[in-house]
Structure 1
Amino acid sequence: MSFLWPWALLGLLALPLLVWGYLRALPRPARTAALHPDLALLAQASRRPRPLRRHLPALLYLGALTLALLALARPTAPLPLPDNRTAVMLVIDVSRSMEAEDIAPSRFVAAQEAARNFVKSLPEGARVGLASFAGYAVLNTPPTARHERVLAAIDGLGLARRTAIGDGLLEGLNALPERGPDAPAAGGERPQAAIVLLSDGRNNSGSEPLDAAARARQLAVKVYTVGLGTENGDPGGVPWGGFLGGFDAETLRQIATTTGGRYFEARSADQLSSIYRSLGRSLGWTVQPREVSGLLAALAGLLLLASLAVSELLVRRIL
């Protein structure tokens, strides 16, 4: 937290003086003795404890005053805000190995559900698109703020043979604003963009994935990769597409590292959905400093009201 008017914090130096004045004003023991006819009654009165809650109104008032002085200094705090300029592309592997049921009910169904969770977790107005790849890549829908279109495209995905991770990455990259095939590798300010790529296999067709990752880095696009499958990578007897050894963790990790993104592994449907929800809560948002004076002032008002209420309802009963 920082302050636009830090000089106003000097007012906090007066708070210790107020505390000292409050303590000085508290009743003190009498300096002289007096005779009392009923010794038993006097002893009973002297044993009556002074509850700490009699000081609660003063503590609440002190807290209210502290928050009011902080609000006067116009504090700012970094807050997450929707970023409608950022575009995100989901790139999903739809090779036939996605029919494997080592992740219930199947890898394909789990991937569809996780993609839906991702879209639903994005802020309203954020642009998101969908591309898919098997032996070739398809742009299912370009980045759009109409999330229902992307959800419909996810529902309409189908499976095909082979795996072209590089082509899928390039398809998603070309669909991003100002990142098409003719876009210069450097120069000019582009809107922020990211790709979330999921695969359960190894590249056996099309472009080299690391070459596509180098292009993404040149265009300032972070790629977040997700490897999907169980530990041994057993596709459950699926014989097509050359899939025998599970996803290519090393290639997926290098893609993420090259572009400044992150690599994830999903060994279950719940883990996959958790990864996508986490990405949806970070991508499409931007952290910007915002003044929070109003919030602190409101809290100060609540503490002041609480101080008055406690003083009226509790302290008077004690006294």
Structure 2
Amino acid sequence: MLELTWPWLLLLLPLPLLIRFLPKAPPQGDAIWWQNARQLEHYQQNNHPLKRLSASTFCLIGAWGLMVFAMTKPVWLGEPTKVTPSGRDLLIALDLSGSMQVSDMLLNDQTANRLEAAKSVLADFIQARRGDRIGIIVFGSKAYLQAPLSFDVTTINQLVQEAQIGFAGEQTAIGDAIGLGIKQLEDKPSDKKVLILMTDGANTAGRVQPEQAAEFAYAQKVRIHTIGIGADSMVVQSFFGPKTVNPSSDLDETLLRNIAAQTGGEYFRARSTEELQNIYQTLDQLEPTPSEDIWQRPLTSLFHWLALASLLSATLSLFLRNTFQWRTRPWQKGDKA
């Protein structure tokens, strides 16, 4: 469908007609010599008012019409298309403390540490979050912003894969990680602010207590989902032979449950890579990417095409006029026969 941005400019179309009402220029005094009556008759016939509307004149009129039409800034409205809107501002806080190197997970049927399993699952989760702004916080003894909120999920994923154990220290500052997440989300206009906190331990460092950070998150309408990662049992070699231990004995599940409950989120327990994958599938359902479909119609500007057509029409008019005048130009006195 065609739409004009400034349709009132079409009032300029009859402007050239005003030229007919302007005072005519006085006739020149130079005498014109005609060789014979037939040439004079030919000249009079071609200067008849009806004959003056030559191809050159039609091209000039067309150039003016195209130029006025171009000045109205016409646009072509395409067919409506569905656009996925921005859903959420979503931060992922990833534990990089020393305990994340415990190899109690399986990845592709091979033993892997907790961080490797988390990276593998996060890669698929982040790629599926197109339409959301994703950010990454890493924490250990301190919390750091690894990647600010961005729609560029490919770059976010790359930064997650580059994270290494010990980057942020050996301890676990859960409260500082939540506080940093709130700070990144507090000035954002989105009313759907989500923080996913993944850890395998208890709060052992930092200046902010997790309970206080959770209270502030609730006040800022930030929903926190917590994930406790780590197996319940693991066979290790000791001096007396194989021994079964609980590698997640330091995991503070009570704290993680309270943080999630206080902010309206959910607590999940990931004892294996498969459970971790199921958790992030559940999070996709709890925090769906698009809020609702938005339909929009693409706009295509026609200005440059009309302006080019006007220029070509004006050029053609000048060419035809010069050609006609060269072929029918009357002889003036002093011209050679």
- Residue in 1 aligned with 2:150? 144
> Please, which of 273, 279, 282 is the counterpart of residue 278 of structure 1?
282
Query: Taking structure 1 as reference, are residues 175 and 225 closer, same or farther at Cα in structure 2, changes over 3 Å only?
Result: same
How far residue 158 of structure 1 moved from its aligned partner, in angstroms, is 1.5
Q: What are the ranges of 5 or more consecutive residues in structure 2 without an aligned counterpart?
A: 1-82, 107-111, 239-246, 296-337
Paired residues of 2:89 and 2:149 also in contact (CA < 8 A): yes
TM-score (norm 2): 0.53
- Residue in 1 aligned with 2:88? 86
How far residue 115 of structure 1 moved from its aligned partner, in angstroms, is 1.4
Query: Taking structure 1 as reference, are residues 255 and 82 closer, same or farther at Cα in structure 2, changes over 3 Å only?
Result: farther
How far residue 246 of structure 1 moved from its aligned partner, in angstroms, is 3.0
> Please, which of 96, 99, 114 is the counterpart of residue 97 of structure 1?
99
Q: Distance in 1 between matches of 2:219 and 2:133?
A: 22
Which residue identity is paired with 1:149? T
- Residue in 2 aligned with 1:164? 173
Which residue identity is paired with 1:178? D
Q: Distance in 1 between matches of 2:172 and 2:257?
A: 17
- Residue in 2 aligned with 1:116? 123
Paired residues of 1:100 and 1:235 also in contact (CA < 8 A): no
Report the structure, 1 or 2, having the larger helix content. 1
How far residue 282 of structure 1 moved from its aligned partner, in angstroms, is 3.8
- Residue in 2 aligned with 1:210? 211
- Residue in 1 aligned with 2:197? 197
Indicate the structure (1 or 2) with the bigger Cα radius of gyration.
2
What does the per-residue CA deviation read over 1:42-99, in whole Å, with 9 as the maximum and x for residues that have no partner?
xxxxxxxxxxxxxxxxxxxxxxxxxxxxxxxxxxxxxxx9541520000011101001
Aligned residues: CA RMSD = 2.8
- Residue in 1 aligned with 2:182? 173
How far residue 170 of structure 1 moved from its aligned partner, in angstroms, is 1.2
Q: Distance in 2 between matches of 1:289 and 1:150?
A: 25
Counterpart mapping for 1:219-238 below 5 A: 219-232=220-233
Query: Taking structure 1 as reference, are residues 171 and 233 closer, same or farther at Cα in structure 2, changes over 3 Å only?
Result: farther
Query: Taking structure 1 as reference, are residues 261 and 235 closer, same or farther at Cα in structure 2, changes over 3 Å only?
Result: farther
Which residue identity is paired with 1:137? A
How far residue 277 of structure 1 moved from its aligned partner, in angstroms, is 2.8
TM-score (norm 1): 0.56
What does the per-residue CA deviation read over 1:100-121, in whole Å, with 9 as the maximum and x for residues that have no partner?
0111311010111121121012
The answer to whether 1:130 aligns with 2:136 is yes
